[in-house]
Structure 1
């Protein structure tokens, strides 16, 4: 089983110069851009082994398993980032473009386990932007973070352009936003009595969205957190069971995944204004 690496930073940039790769096959809780500044060898990604060389650029999602086999001493430039970086974009005029970028890059399965750049002039631009990004990241002066976000956004838009050229059919792997959110909400409603199927991980895995981003995606489209939606769905289902079934309060609490009858009763009263027993009597 692949090891999993974690970061608590929205953006992390660093360089490694290695004669031999020191890390096991692994995945991450973040996305990763890897620039090969010099050197050559092979990379294994999701079971596919392919060569790398100076100038190559790779994009990895959290689910991608990978490691390198170094043939010639290699300088790796890493940009690690999480979805939090996307949330901090505040330019309303570009909001639509940026959200579309998130959908197309972060939700798509990695169908190109190789160098992602096919427009050579864009490769030059990306390495230039990387140099600017590293310089600003190292200085940490006034407005540094805002500048970093701007540079990074430009890099991601260039990458999206190349991914579309390299694999124009990749968009077919991405649901439209409205369709995806409807499918997620339908899944929650259908499996509200199956706790394991509506966990964050289960929903993320089913709809090919990272665990980090699933809550953000749902809140963006519904104005509610996934926790709020699950509670609301449980309570709506509870109302139906209280009205139409002979289940006891304890049985309903158990079926809907509440800790116990008291937890169910307190939650119901908080959101509905009365205890489940009182609701049943009134209806």
Structure 2
């Protein structure tokens, strides 16, 4: 089941003993803060326990469900990515497209790691202001809520900061976890993902790296990188208003023609056709 939202920003705040929705995905991003309660969150088939002060951040393609064990208070912010760009210099709007996917990955990697207390206090305070003002406005959203949403996202990102290479390499217990984390972190930087560069970072021979990755993942290293990049580009094409030149630049292609050839080779479609077809199917 897919839930479709047309509002650029939608806020809900409620307590319940029974989750009111079936397993579903949606066409928007969704940030969920658990004020109090206990239960199980099922995200893309993976179960994790939740408690008071748990936070989940969902991408449009994520599927999720809740099994509530104790009455739970949810504060939910659903939004389309374009709302984050209003009032920002257009040269910087692509920041948010990359930021949202990076934040979702950080939270999924750290779902068992508590948010640091000082960051949690800030997060809780901003969410409370957002909900209070939303109620005072008759449960209608406004410009203030957009600014508060940006603040919430930035606080969350700072809670699990992993921009430094040494921090990325610490995430995960195994070699395959660490290399996947590294690839996801640098997917927009082709020079960082050459076999030569990866072999130096992970202190393995190039042939050893290829063999180990394929044995563990069942897919060649280069194919994995291209598949991930293709999927992220698809999401960007459908869920943003970025031009193809902007997308090409942000994913490290030498020029728009290089981007066009890559996308056609890996999907069988031109970027323009893919955007039109998917926008139509989501109407």
Q: TM-score range by the shorter chain?
A: 0.5 to 0.7
RMSD, aligned CA: 3.8
Contact 1:6–1:28 (CA under 8 A) maintained in structure 2:
yes
Contiguous gaps of at least 5 residues in structure 1? 181-202, 224-228, 235-255, 257-283
Match of 2:239 among 209, 213, 230: 213
Partner of 1:280: none
Q: CA deviation at 1:17?
A: 1.5
Contact 1:101–1:157 (CA under 8 A) maintained in structure 2:
no
Match of 1:64 among 62, 65, 68: 62
Match of 1:105 among 100, 104, 112: 100
Do structure 1's residue 10 and structure 2's residue 5 form an aligned pair?
A: no
- CA gap of 1:216–1:166, structure 2 versus 1, over 3 A, is closer
Partner of 2:184: 173
Rounded to whole Å, the distance in 2 between the matches of 1:29 and 1:115 is 26
- CA gap of 1:108–1:134, structure 2 versus 1, over 3 A, is closer
- Structure 2-normalised TM-score? 0.58
Larger Rg: 1
Q: CA deviation at 1:39?
A: 1.0
Contact 2:30–2:58 (CA under 8 A) maintained in structure 1:
yes
Deviations 1:230-261 (A, max 9, x none): 9xx89xxxxxxxxxxxxxxxxxxxxx9xxxxx
Rounded to whole Å, the distance in 2 between the matches of 1:9 and 1:71 is 31
- Structure 1-normalised TM-score? 0.58
Q: CA deviation at 1:179?
A: 5.5
Q: CA deviation at 1:145?
A: 3.0
Rounded to whole Å, the distance in 1 between the matches of 2:8 and 2:81 is 7
Q: CA deviation at 1:52?
A: 0.5
- CA gap of 1:113–1:121, structure 2 versus 1, over 3 A, is closer
Deviations 1:240-283 (A, max 9, x none): xxxxxxxxxxxxxxxx9xxxxxxxxxxxxxxxxxxxxxxxxxxx
What is the 5 A alignment of 1:223-262? Answer: none
Contiguous gaps of at least 5 residues in structure 2? 169-180, 192-228, 250-255, 262-269, 271-283
Contact 1:36–1:75 (CA under 8 A) maintained in structure 2:
yes
Rounded to whole Å, the distance in 1 between the matches of 2:137 and 2:248 is 36
- CA gap of 1:104–1:172, structure 2 versus 1, over 3 A, is farther
Rounded to whole Å, the distance in 2 between the matches of 1:12 and 1:77 is 11
- CA gap of 1:153–1:159, structure 2 versus 1, over 3 A, is same
Match of 1:123 among 105, 120, 123: 120
Deviations 1:103-143 (A, max 9, x none): 133256644373675212111111110111122333449xx
Rounded to whole Å, the distance in 2 between the matches of 1:33 and 1:206 is 20
